[in-house]
Amino acid sequence: MFIFKNEPEIMTNLVIQSTDSTPHVEFLTNGTLTLKGRSLPEDVHKFYAPLIDWVKHLETDKAVIELKLEYLNTSSTKKLLNLLTAIDQNEKIKEIDVKWHYEFDDLEMEDLGNIYEEDMKRAKFQYIEEVDIF
């Protein structure tokens, strides 16, 4: 019996255009990961599962995560935490920076970033207060 090993998959960038209910996704193999817009997909698992799987396989010295989220529904907040946790637990990523953008008057979004920061062990958070980012 012969066992053939598959060639390792070459990772490619993951880009998903935004819709009225899903954010723009731009995950680059160089470690630049961007989510921007609104997140209230009908099937949150179907939307976030490929993103979580992608970050579990990312190999990079530094991941810079840009989060510019206007709105997240309850199920999206859980999946975003799962995504960030998967990044935090990926030992092939040496350093993790999170740039958490929020509207100057959106205290709930700022607080959500603080909650995520408490759950992550290796990530450094930078909070960026902006006016009219959406």
Domain that holds residue 27: 14-130
Q: Is 59 within the bounds of a domain?
A: yes
Q: Is 110 within the bounds of a domain?
A: yes
Q: Is 4 within the bounds of a domain?
A: no
Instruction: Output the CA–CA distances (angstroms, integers) from residue 108 to 34, 57, 122, in the order listed.
Output: 20, 31, 23
Cα angle 85, 45, 63; round to 5 = 35
Q: Is 67 within the bounds of a domain?
A: yes
CA nearest 37: which of 51, 52, 15, 17? 17
The span from the CA of 39 to the CA of 36, in Å, is 9
Q: Is 2 within the bounds of a domain?
A: no
pTM of the predicted model as reported, rounded to 2 decimal places:
0.90
Q: Is 87 within the bounds of a domain?
A: yes
Q: Is 56 within the bounds of a domain?
A: yes
pLDDT digits (tens, 9 = 90+) for 55-99: 999 999 999 999 999 999 999 999 999 999 999 999 999 999 999
Structure confidence at residue 9 (pLDDT):
67
How many separate domains does the chain show?
1
Q: Is 58 within the bounds of a domain?
A: yes
Q: Is the pLDDT of residue 2 over 70?
A: no
- For 118, residues 6+ apart whose C-beta sits below 8 A from its C-beta are none
Q: The domain spanning residue 73 has which CATH number?
A: 3.30.750.24
In terms of C-beta density within 10 A (0-12 exposed, 13-18 middle, 19 or more buried), how is residue 29 classed?
A: middle
pLDDT digits (tens, 9 = 90+) for 17-30: 999 999 999 999 99
pLDDT digits (tens, 9 = 90+) for 30-42: 999 999 999 999 9
Query: Does residue 16 sit in helix, strand or coil?
Result: strand
